[in-house]
Amino acid sequence: MIFFIFIISIRLGFIYSDYKSFISKPFYFTTVTVLQQYKKEKNNRTYTTLRVYSKDLDLNFFTTTYQKYNLLDKRVRLKLFPSKDITFTDYLSTSYIKSNINRVEKSSTNIKSMLLDKIEKQHKSNIITQFYQAIFLAKPISKNLREKVSKLGISHLIALSGFHLAIVWGILFFILNPIYRFFQKQYFPYRFNLIDIGLLILIILGFFVWSVDSPASLVRSYIMMIITWVLLVFGIELLSFSFLITAVLIIILFFPKMLLSLAFWFSVAGVFYIFLLLQRFNKSNRVLMTLIISFGIFILMLPIVHIIFPTTSLYQLYSPFLSLAFTIFYPFSIFLHIIGHGGLFDNLLINLFTLKSITIDIKLPLFYGVGYILLSIGSIYSKRLFYLLFLVATLFMGYIFTYEYINI
C-alpha cells in the first residue's frame, strides 16, 4: 500500500504540473466529443450546455454555446479559455471551461456508430433507444431518462460497468466451454479452461471496450476483471478486503482522476458490501446467496447513496427485483438485437419508465454518513457490528420509504 500510494502521489504530481500549465495559457485549441447537450435559460436568453470530452487533454468538462444546432456525438473543434478560478479538484473531476466553437466535424463512421444506428432502427421511442444504446455501448443518457431511472433506483443498470461485463463474460464462457471441452479431451487434457477461455474472453472484451471508445467507467471495470482473472489463475484468494484495496489502488494508479469520481467510489462501495455479505453468509446455497446479495446490497447501499443523491421514490423498492431480472433480460436483449427484433420489450419498458410516483428529497447528513462508513469498516472484524450495520440500514430504509410519505 505504501508503494502504491507513493507511485500514485508521483502521478498526481505530474498531473498537477499539467494543470498549472493548462490554466496559465490564455487559450487552448482542442477537439472534443459532445457527450450530452441540453438547453437552459438565464435572463430571458436560451443557451445550450454541453458536456464534452477531450481525448488529447484527457479532460471531461462543461461548456456553453448560444448556437442552436444539434452537436450530440459530433466532434467539435473548440478554443478554450482556461481560468485560474479552475481548481485542481475541478481539473481532476468535471469543471466548467469557457469556449468558442471553431468548427463542427462530421462524426466518423466506426464500429460504435454503426451499432448505435442498428439499435436506433429497431426502436420508435427515443427513450428506449437511449436505454439500449447506454446498456450496450455506454452512450450517455439524457437528463430526462436519468431522472426516470433514478426514480426506479436502477441507475447502476444503465451505466455500462463491471456488472454488464460479468454477464457477458458468463455468456461467452457458457458458449465457448463445451467447444473447448471437446478439443481438450482429445488433444490437451492437461490444460485449464479458466486460463485458455478466460484469456480469449479478455481479448474479446478488450476489443469491445476499445470499439465503444473506451469510456473510463468501462476501462476501470475491465482492468478490475483482468486483475481478478490473474489472481484466480495464480490461486490467490479473491474474496478478501486486501484484494479489494489492492485492486482499488491499481486502478487509481492507472487512472488518478478516479479519486474524485463518484461512480468509481459507488462501485467500490458496492463490491465492498458484496464481500461483506459473502463473508457473513458464505455457508448459504447459491440461490439463497443470490437473493441475499441482491436485497442486501440494496439495503446497505441506501445510506451511502443518500449522502450524495437525495431523490427518493417508492418505486425504488423494485430495484433488487429489477436487478435480478436484468441478469436474464440483458443477454436475451443482446440476442434479440442481433437478430433484428430488439423492440420486443419496448412497450414493457415504456410502461416502466412512465410510472407516475411522488418523489421527495431525503439527504443523509455527512456526519451520519461518515459514522455509517466507519461502522461498515468495523463490520469486517465483528459479526455484532455487521448485524448492527444491517439494522441501521434497514431502519433508514424504513424511514425514507414510510415516515416521510405519511407526512406528505
Q: Please answer whether residues 365 and 271 qualify as being in contact, where contact means their C-beta atoms are separated by less than 8 angstroms.
A: no
Q: How many domains does the chain have?
A: 2
Task: Say yes or no: 356 and 230 in one domain.
Answer: yes
Q: What is the pLDDT of residues 143-193, one digit of tens each?
A: 888 888 888 888 888 888 888 888 899 899 999 999 999 999 888 888 888
Output the 3-class SS for 339-351: CCCHHHHHHHHHH
Q: How confident is the model at residue 394 (pLDDT cuts 50, 70, 90)?
A: very high
Q: Which is more confidently placed, 284 or 397?
A: 397
Question: Does any domain span residue 136?
Answer: no
Between helix 216-233 and helix 241-254 the angle, nearest 10°, is 130
Domain boundary (41, 76, 105) is at 105
Task: Say yes or no: 71 and 159 in one domain.
Answer: no
Task: Say yes or no: 178 and 294 in one domain.
Answer: yes
Question: Does any domain span residue 126?
Answer: no
Q: What is the pLDDT of residues 336-379, one digit of tens each?
A: 999 988 888 999 999 888 888 778 888 889 999 999 999 999 99
Question: Does any domain span residue 142?
Answer: no
Read off the pTM.
0.85
Task: Say yes or no: 291 and 368 in one domain.
Answer: yes
Task: Say yes or no: 208 and 349 in one domain.
Answer: yes
The pLDDT mean for the chain works out to 86
Over 90: is that where the pLDDT of 389 sits? yes
Question: Does any domain span residue 125?
Answer: no
Question: Does any domain span residue 196?
Answer: yes
* pLDDT on residue 405: 56
| Range 99-110 average pLDDT | 78
What are the φ/ψ torsions at residue 186 (nearest 5 degrees)?
A: -80, -40
Distance of alpha carbon 149 from alpha carbon 131, whole angstroms: 10
C-alpha cell, 407: 407526512
Over 60: is that where the pLDDT of 404 sits? no
* pLDDT on residue 201: 93
Question: Does any domain span residue 147?
Answer: no
Domain boundary (74, 105, 136) is at 105
Domain boundary (66, 81, 105) is at 105
The CATH code of the domain that includes 81 is 2.40.50
Q: Which sign, positive or negative, has the C-alpha torsion 19, 222, 189, 184?
A: negative
Task: Say yes or no: 92 and 173 in one domain.
Answer: no
Task: Say yes or no: 339 and 210 in one domain.
Answer: yes
| Range 212-223 average pLDDT | 77
Task: Say yes or no: 240 and 337 in one domain.
Answer: yes
| Range 55-67 average pLDDT | 85
* pLDDT on residue 407: 57
Distant-in-sequence, close-in-space partners of 213: CB < 8 Å, separation ≥ 6: 33, 112, 138
**Residue whose C-alpha is closest to residue 93's, from 260, 232, 280, 229:** 260
Q: Which structural domain range is residue 388 located in? A: 155-406
The CB density around residue 14, as the number of other CB atoms within 10 Å, is 10
Distance of alpha carbon 139 from alpha carbon 159, whole angstroms: 9
